């Protein structure tokens, strides 16, 4: 079984970080049932997504990357021959 570290942040989001892969994963590259070997609470840190919501980026290209949720990407049409 692979060993994982459970890391909880101040914003209530959490991560499962791999501490070590088991021999079965190394051979097959298929994940097995995780075993949490330690839990960490990082009370001073928040995740990148929450940080971005609190302090939006002022870079000129940031508006091009962020798209409204209700808008979908335009579909390219290929003319028939």
Residue 27, in any domain of the structure: yes
Flag the least confident range among 1-5, 21-25, 27-31, 52-56.
52-56
Q: What is the pLDDT of residue 6?
A: 93
Residue 43, in any domain of the structure: yes
Which residue, 9, 73, 13, 66, is CA-closest to 41?
9
More confident residue, 20 or 68: 20
Question: How far apart are alpha carbons 61 and 66 in whole angstroms?
Answer: 9
Which residue, 46, 35, 34, 37, is CA-closest to 10?
46
Residue 68, in any domain of the structure: no
More confident residue, 65 or 8: 8
The reported pTM is 0.56
Residue 41, in any domain of the structure: yes
Question: How far apart are alpha carbons 56 and 59 in whole angstroms?
Answer: 9
Q: How many separate domains does the chain show?
A: 1
pLDDT beyond 90 at 27: yes
Domain housing 35: 3-57
Residue 63, in any domain of the structure: no
Residue 62, in any domain of the structure: no
- What is the tens place of the pLDDT at every residue in 37-81? 999 998 888 888 888 787 766 777 766 766 556 555 555 555 665
Residue 73, in any domain of the structure: no
């Amino acid at each position: 079984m692979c060993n994982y570290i459970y890391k909880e942040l101040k914003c209530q989001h959490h991560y499962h970080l791999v501490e070590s892969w088991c021999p079965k994963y190394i051979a097959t590259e298929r994940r097995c049932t995780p075993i949490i070997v330690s839990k960490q609470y990082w009370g001073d840190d928040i995740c990148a997504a929450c940080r971005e919501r609190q302090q939006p980026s002022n870079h000129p290209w940031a508006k091009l990357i962020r798209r409204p949720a209700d808008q979908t990407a335009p579909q390219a049409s290929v003319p028939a021959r």
